[in-house]
Amino acid sequence: MLSREGCGLCDEMHEALEALRGPLDLPELVIVDVDSDPPLARRYGLKIPVLRLDGAVVCFGRLDEAELRRHLRAASSERLADHSQNT
């Protein structure tokens, strides 16, 4: 999750994600301060917070649970396909 210090929306998204941790099998949440990375700051500017999964943007501003679930399903399907090809 791309975040910045003092961002109320970032706090809200983080809390919403933590609330989903029980019902959903979420990967580890890594919070990146967008202001510590100039290219990210230029790219995302005021769109913070940004939730990404495997490099793909899931949502920004507010958590989109439906979109997060779609991305999680797609990532799970890809992992299953990769595993079956490697066995």
In the structure, what pLDDT confidence band is assigned to residue 84 with cuts at 50, 70 and 90? Answer: low
Q: Structural domain boundaries of the chain?
A: 2-86
Per-residue burial over 17-27, b if 16 or more Cβ lie within 10 Å, else e, is beebeeeeeee
User: Which has more confidence, 36 or 76?
Assistant: 36
pTM of the model: 0.84
Query: Radius of gyration (Cα) for the chain, nearest Å?
Result: 14
Pick the CATH number of 2-86 from 3.40.50.300, 3.40.30.10, 3.40.47.10, 3.30.70.270: 3.40.30.10
The band of 65, judged by pLDDT with boundaries at 50, 70 and 90, is very high
- Sign of torsion over alpha carbons 54, 70, 19, 57: positive
**Residue 18: HSE in the Cβ half-sphere, 13 Å Cα cutoff:** 8
Length of the chain: 87
Mean pLDDT across the stretch 27-46? 93
* Over residues 40-65, mean pLDDT: 94
Helix (H, G, I), strand (E, B) or coil at 79: helix
What's the pLDDT at 25? Answer: 85
